[in-house]
Amino acid sequence: MRAPIAGIALAVGLAAAGLLSLRAHAASNPQVVTIKLPATTVDFKPGPNVATAQTNCLICHGADYVYNQPALSRTQWTAEVNKMRNAYKATIADGDVDKIVDYLMSANGKT
On the question of pLDDT at 5 being above 90, the answer is no
pLDDT for the residue numbered 34: 78
The superfamily CATH assigns to domain 50-108 is Cytochrome c-like domain (1.10.760.10)
CB 49 within 8 A of CB 100: yes
pLDDT in tens, 81-100: 999 999 999 999 999 999 99
Q: In whole angstroms, what is the distance from residue 45 CA to residue 107 CA?
A: 7
On the question of pLDDT at 39 being above 70, the answer is yes
pLDDT for the residue numbered 99: 98
Q: What is the pTM of this model?
A: 0.65
pLDDT for the residue numbered 42: 85
Q: Residues of the chain with pLDDT > 90: what percent?
A: 57
Q: Residues of the chain with pLDDT > 70: what percent?
A: 72
Confidence at 36, pLDDT banded by 50, 70, 90: confident
Q: How do the domains of the chain map onto residue ranges? A: 1-34, 50-108
Closest CA to 63 of 50, 72, 76: 50
